[in-house]
Amino acid sequence: MKEVHNFSAGPAILPQQAIDASIEALREFKNMGLSLVEISHRSAQWEETMQAAVNLVRELLKVPDDYSILFLQGGASTQFCMVPYNLLSENGTAAYVKTGTWAKKAIKEAQLFGNVQVLGSSEDKNFSYIPKDFSIPGDADYFHCTSNNTIFGTQMKEFPDSPIPMVCDMSSDIFSRPVDVSKFGIIYAGAQKNMGPAGTTLVIIKNELFGKSGRKIPSMLDYKIHAENDSMFNTCPVFPIYLSFETLKWLKGEGGVEGIAERNKRKAEKLYKEIDDNPMFVGTAAKEDRSYMNICFLLKDDSLNNEFMKAAKEANISGIKGHRSVGGFRASTYNALPEKSVDVLIGIMKEFANKHA
Ligand code: PMP
């Protein structure tokens, strides 16, 4: 297989070791004479794996004992409605910060359930920064934020101390850095960036939040039911969970979230340095809010975009076309992206500048 530098925003690059282990499990799972996808999710062999995956999430993120760890389906987008369904009471208010496309979608879904107060928004500058001067109302049912804005390349470097349960969409930076889970009521993340393939969604929820909204909730959207059934209320997606588990085993071998955070920072900072130093490019996100996961930048002369894309392709760089809401380029530097790939990208940026000097 040719070596490709995969900067895709998600589904994204995964460790080869995790993919290889999952191929093995697809061939045969735990000497059962059957493939992973042919066995019952109620088998002892699967239950053991599921438990090990939950334990590993708990270990890597230091999740306190009074939180449940769930592997659900429906993507992060389903969480946009599950959160208000479970937390927003009939006459209550939910507080959101609007930091990008995904936050907007989360707000839209919450509005189906009740009152939503938008505490801060960066829409005035095309979501190029993280709003900070807001205070969280103590009488709202919960506060919702997005830790990393995949499309606009901004990231919350710190989280506020919230007087009410803080809910965070960490889809694009979960497991990329340590977080203090005890600050949050709910953390959720679609798997398909740092954790695994699409098909499962990780939810970490403080148990005291079960049934908080007082609403009648359909079983599949009720966190309590999933927790009581160890994420196996219905047939769970064994393959995405397995590949996520193998990815997390790889992460542990790389020094866990502490170890990978250092590497992620180094990768991102060297690319931002090139963007700042290179006369042809400019970054789009406010410097203090720059994401260490999704790095958005433009060519000052956008008539050269196609030529730069061609140069990238020739260097086996894949997935750097920017999202249409920002334009230009987006290099996603998730956990599994080797530092070498960043060096290759920096190399072609330098070459491009030399050629056009
Ligand atoms: N939130 C964020 C921050 C995302 O980046 C994405 C998808 N890229 C989503 C939510 C939606 O996730 P899903 O496709 O799993 O529903």
Task: Check residue 156 and give its pLDDT.
Answer: 98
Ligand 1 pocket test, pick from 73, 83, 96, 102 with the greatest ligand atom count within 8 Å of Cβ, gives 102
Q: Residue 55: its pLDDT value, please?
A: 98
For ligand 1, is residue 72 a contact (CB within 6 Å)? no
Spatial distance between the Cα atoms of 301 and 279, rounded to a whole number of angstroms: 11
Q: So what's the pLDDT on residue 243?
A: 98
Taking the C-alpha atoms of residue 325 and residue 126, their distance in angstroms, rounded to an integer, is: 8
Ligand 1 pocket residue status of 75, Cβ below 6 Å: yes
* pLDDT confidence of residue 208: 98
Q: State the average pLDDT for the chain.
A: 98
Is 190's C-beta closer than 6 angstroms to any atom of ligand 1?
yes
Instruction: State the distance from the centre of ligand 1 to the C-alpha of 27, rounded, in angstroms.
Output: 30
Q: Can you give the pLDDT at residue 1?
A: 82
The enclosing H or E element of 205 equals strand 201-206
Task: Decide whether any atom of ligand 1 lies within 6 Å of the 199 Cβ.
Answer: no
Q: Block means of pLDDT (10 residues each) for the chain, length 357 residues?
A: 94 98 98 98 97 98 98 98 98 98 98 98 98 97 98 98 98 98 98 98 98 98 98 97 98 98 98 98 98 98 97 98 96 98 98 95
Which is the closest atom of ligand 1 to the Cα of 80?
10
What's the rounded Cα separation, in Å, for the pair 246 and 224? 27
Of 145, 150, 152, 156, the residue with max ligand 1 atoms within 8 A of its CB, to mutate for a pocket test, comes to 150
Give the active site residues. 102, 169, 193
- Ligand 1 centroid to residue 193 C-alpha, Å: 9
Q: Indicate the top mutation candidate among 8, 150, 171 to test ligand 1's pocket, ranked by most ligand atoms within 8 A of CB.
A: 171
**Range 202-217 burial, b when 16+ CB lie within 10 A, else e:** bbbbbeebbebbebeb
Q: Is the pTM of this model over 0.85?
A: yes
CA 83 to chain CA centroid, nearest Å: 17
Cα dihedral 42, 46, 51, 54 sign: negative
